[in-house]
Amino acid sequence: MTPLTRPARLVPGARVAVVAPSGPVPEERLSAGLDLLRGWDLDPVVAPHTLDRHPDFDYLAGTDADRAADFQAAWCDPSVAAVVCARGGYGVQRMADLLDWDAVRAAGPKTLVGFSDITALHEAFATRAGLVTLHGPMAAGLDFLKNTRAQDHLRATLFAPESVRTITAEASTALVPGRARGVLLGGCLCLLAAELGNPYARPGARGALVCLEDVGEETYRLDRYLTQLLRAGWFDGVAGVLLGSWAQCEPYEGVRALLVDRLGGLGVPTVEEFGFGHCDGALTVPFGVTAELDADAGTLTLDEPALV
């Protein structure tokens, strides 16, 4: 597991494209998110199909071809410094293989921001483009719109990444104590399990610090996802585990018992409630960067800033 290529940090006046590769986007929330980005002295441009709805499946923001075309055009536009997803939902896996990855690689490194269903894009950019990506708040997400901590941490990561070399989760506790070093990867647990078996999926997380979170899942489903990853050998050789939020899942005591049951046997430093994912004030975590986890202190220290 080697670190990936880091894109450039943003500067005032940078153009950022807002796209909807997954679910449909509420127009009023998108408008509020664009205002926030303009307040950061950025120049946000909205992809043509961002507010579309699929004609048959209302859980998708437009057709697969249109969502892919929007993303492709945004990424390959030389005037665009970053691509910020509007929201998650479901849909990335349907459009990821429609992207021209040769063109994506040729466009050079730039920053991708998103989480939840965007986990599938984080994985695709790691395996197909070799780029660091940011697991963080999205332009039309409620946390981005309403939570100052989420806004400030993302902004610092984008503009002054050296200022957030150490990420601290004040409410975290160690499920398994100790320190571990590795390359950061992960995201939404159900998406990581769903990625197994596709021809571009990474074979496992050997040598990695794996970040896991999810939303709206019953405990037995979380059990299924973890068990599938364990049976597939995906966790073999993992260096450490960071557990984020489990919003709208069953009471945390039951989820915690499952996490201990399924992950405790890995015998690697593991920290819970690290403050990323579907939670208030979600921290931005760069995937593809080497870092050291101190599970006892609740800190994650990056070897290098997330962005150059």
Residue 35, burial from CB neighbour count under 10 angstroms (0-12, 13-18, 19+) = exposed
Q: Helix, strand, coil shares of the chain as percentages rounded to 5?
A: 35, 25, 40
Residue 272 a catalytic site member: no
Sign of CA dihedral 36, 42, 46, 47: negative
Amino acid in the structure at residue 111: T
Annotated catalytic residue within 22, 54, 116, 123: 116
User: Which residue matches tokens 């450039």?
Assistant: 8
b/e per residue, 236-246, with b = 16+ CB within 10 A?
Answer: eebbbbbbbbb
Q: Which of 123, 213, 217, 292 is catalytic?
A: 213
- C-alpha 245/C-alpha 14 separation (Å) is 31
**d(Cα 85, Cα 89) in Å, to the nearest integer?**
11
Annotated active-site residue in 22, 49, 278, 292: 278
259 φ/ψ angles, rounded to the nearest 5 degrees: -60, -40
Q: Is 213 a catalytic residue?
A: yes
- Cβ partners under 8 Å of residue 88, min gap 6: 22, 23, 114, 115, 116, 117, 118, 138, 188
Q: Catalytic residues, which ones?
A: 116, 213, 278
